[in-house]
With several copies, the nearest count.
Chain A
Amino acid sequence: MPARTVYTASIESVSILDEHGRFDAQLGADLIPNDDLVKLYEQMAISRRFDEIAFKLQRSGRMGTYPENRGQEATSLGAAYVLNKDDWLVTCYRENTGLFWRGLPMEYILLHWMGDERGNKIPDGLCITPLAIPIGTQMLHAAGLAWAAKYREEKRIACTFFGDGATSEGDFHEAMNFAANLDLPIVFFCQNNGWAISVPTNKQCSAPTLAQRGIAYGMDCIQCDGNDIFAVVRVMKEASQRARETNRPTFIEALTYRLGDHTTADDARRYRDEAELQMWMQRDPIIRLGNYLKELKLWDRSKEDALQERAKAEVADAVKRAEEIADTPIEEYFDAMYADIPEELRRQRDTLRTSSLGQEGFAQGVETPTKQGIEETVN
């Protein structure tokens, strides 16, 4: 239909260090100092070790369901690397690497998956939010956190992580729209790992890219190779600068892959091809960066051995801390509900009963009338 064109848009895709080791010297120039590169590599390796141990803890009955992060280490790490310490990191549940980089002690993640809320009791000053279980809901909080920073003129930003599947939820749309319309300093970081449990990305979005979801809001949006730490760092730098300087949000689609099952409760062989998995094994972000470091002579076998030892020890330590944490008396759960505990809840807490006869004798008085007709008090 011939008519007037009123809008045009396009999506760019960024790759710097590809799976064959080719490095785009122009895009990658002066992006990451060598020292940092080594540290980033080390963090990914430690995180990978953590993942393996966490998996084993689940398999041996020492931990509940656990979502492996394997294969996705570069995304959250690249983002956390670029962000300032006081920027909000609002994650989903596959961003261990970025959280560890930020400084979250590893045992927190273990505690979370061990069914212990103390895994979410974020240490003061860390500027992260707890792992988000309900898909797609946390981006709105990130928008609110970014809004608060803008309101206070703090020059802090928020960066929120979520999967391809999450982009199908209504809350994703609302968060993107609020951010774009209210000019919030935020980065929406989508980890497109090809699958939402058993559902492939093309069933979440039939468009050629997820990145173009941002066009709906007139938002800057871009795609990158999520297994390429350079590409991630590059797009994150641009996005965080845009947020910090102009309060404009950015939507990033990072192409990555989970090399494990969805969680330990899942069996990916039921729905995905071995060949696809094999192909992505070749694109492993850790191997890729490791090879590059070796090429630059920044890494070698002995450093690797030392790193593996260190990883082993640090992870073992975290496991120990998580497993040896003191039991929480259930009463603390009641106390954690409100700043001030309501009376009926206090009665439940102090008797560990809900039935009124079971609550008799609570506190000073006796609340439920007895047949003897004693004078009672209800608190």
Chain B
Amino acid sequence: MANLTLVQAINLALIQEMERDDRIIILGEDIGVNGGVFRVTEGLHKRFGEKRVVDTPLAESGILGTAIGLAMAGLRPIPEIQFEGFLAPAYDQICTHAARMRSRTRGALTVPLTVRVPIGGGIHAPELHSDSPEAVYAHQPGIKVVMPSSPYDAKGLLISAIRDPDPVIFFEPKRLYRAFREEVPEDEYTIPLGKARVVAEGDEVTVISWGAPVVQCMTAIEASGKSIELIDLRTIYPIDTQTIVQSVRKTGRAVIVHEAPKNCGLGAEIASRIMEHCFLYLEAPIQRVTGFDMTMPYYKKELEYLPEAERIGKALAEVAAY
């Protein structure tokens, strides 16, 4: 056991999986000698050499497209995209090919890659370094989408993602990269994709979140003084409907919290699922505490945009009082 940051936990997972499986190649911008702009791949270049840890040209579609080819050949590429804003140039390769190769060929060719992408705001970064596009990729059939909110989960989920036979987008909340440390076992372990985590139990309201806002939710819940159940989704697709539904059938009230804009965000999908499966249990309209339906502001205003604890707290109070 070691007390690790989220960055270190991911680094450890990468090292252990690379030791275990020489089909793994890491590729991306500045991930080699430089160890990645967030130092997530620190030391890998030295340890595994430039054959397995490859600085590519600056071209995201190229990174994903070649990774797809590597995966089709049976390797296990782990491309990194430097920031979620720069996943957009690779959107086509992901949705047109990575997501479709298995179904297109009825399984003759598959794409077992895991693309790692830092995501979200709150670190005073420049434009396009603070967005949250997870819902866009969740809408695309054929891929899985994961977002851990703690070092422990990050390691276990990343190992599952790497070993998954289908393409996985692994979003890493950059606000949590070094926000806190946690005991992370040295030994390998996996956390199954598609299973949420009940962070705290309670019976008045269910709060559902993922990634960095989970921490904001904990603060808000603590401050609320109420008995609130907090669910960390961990996997964005497939969604663990069962855990959510079980909780809301108990509490009758739900608040969903995410950084992305509200309109067509993942919150809408979760709210709809709750409504579909808990209709007769609901005692208040499901609330969405999210980014506003506008461009993520430059950093001066990012905290006024993000769903911070205070705004979450208000919704908790309102939904509980309804």
Which residues of A line the B interface, CB within 8 A?
64-65, 112-118, 120-122, 124, 129-130, 133-137, 139-149, 151, 158, 165-166, 168-171, 174-175, 177-178, 181-182, 196-199, 203-205, 265-266, 270-271, 328, 330, 332-334, 336-339, 342-345, 348-349, 352-358, 367-371, 373, 376, 378-379
Contacts and interface: CB of A to CB of B under 8 A. Distances in A.
Interface string B267-299: 000000000111111001101111111110111
25 contacts: A65-B126, A115-B299, A117-B103, A117-B104, A117-B105, A121-B106, A143-B69, A144-B71, A168-B62, A169-B60, A171-B61, A171-B93, A181-B57, A182-B56, A196-B29, A196-B58, A271-B34, A336-B107, A342-B238, A344-B241, A353-B289, A367-B277, A368-B277, A369-B279, A376-B277
A203 to B, nearest CB: 6
A337 B105 contact: no
A199 B66 contact: no
Contacts, number: 302
Contact of B103 (A181, A182, A330, A337): A337
Contacts of B108: 120-122, 124
B124 A178 contact: no
A214 to B, nearest CB: 16
B126 A113 contact: yes
Nearest to A332: B106
Given A120-B105, A133-B127, A140-B69, A174 B59 contact: yes
A116 B294 contact: no
Contact of A198 (B25, B33, B93, B291): B33
Nearest to B31: A198
Given A113-B126, A178-B57, A357-B287, A141 B69 contact: yes
A210 B102 CA distance: 34
A366 to B, nearest CB: 10
A147 B279 contact: no
B107 A121 contact: yes
A356 B287 CA distance: 6
Given A116-B298, A140-B93, A151-B51, A145 B72 contact: yes
Nearest to A170: B61
A197 B30 contact: yes
Contacts of B35: 270
A87 B56 CA distance: 24
B105 A122 contact: yes
A376 B276 CA distance: 13
A115 B106 contact: no
A54 to B, nearest CB: 14
B65 A354 contact: no
Contact of B293 (A149, A165, A345): A345
Contacts of B71: 144
Contact of B66 (A147, A170, A344): A147
A136 B37 contact: no
B294 A140 contact: no
Interface stretch (B84-92, B151-159, B175-183, B211-219): B84-92
B51 A354 contact: no
B246 A378 contact: yes
B162 interface: no
Contacts of A124: 108
Contacts of B125: 64-65
Interface string B95-123: 01100001111111110000000000000
A118 B106 contact: yes
Given A343-B238, A354-B288, A144 B298 contact: no
Nearest to B300: A115
A330 B291 CA distance: 13
Nearest to B51: A151
Looking at A65, A166, A333, A355, the one whose CB has the most chain B CB atoms below 10 A away is A355
Given A65-B125, A115-B298, A198-B30, A356 B277 contact: yes
A367 B96 CA distance: 33
Nearest to A88: B73
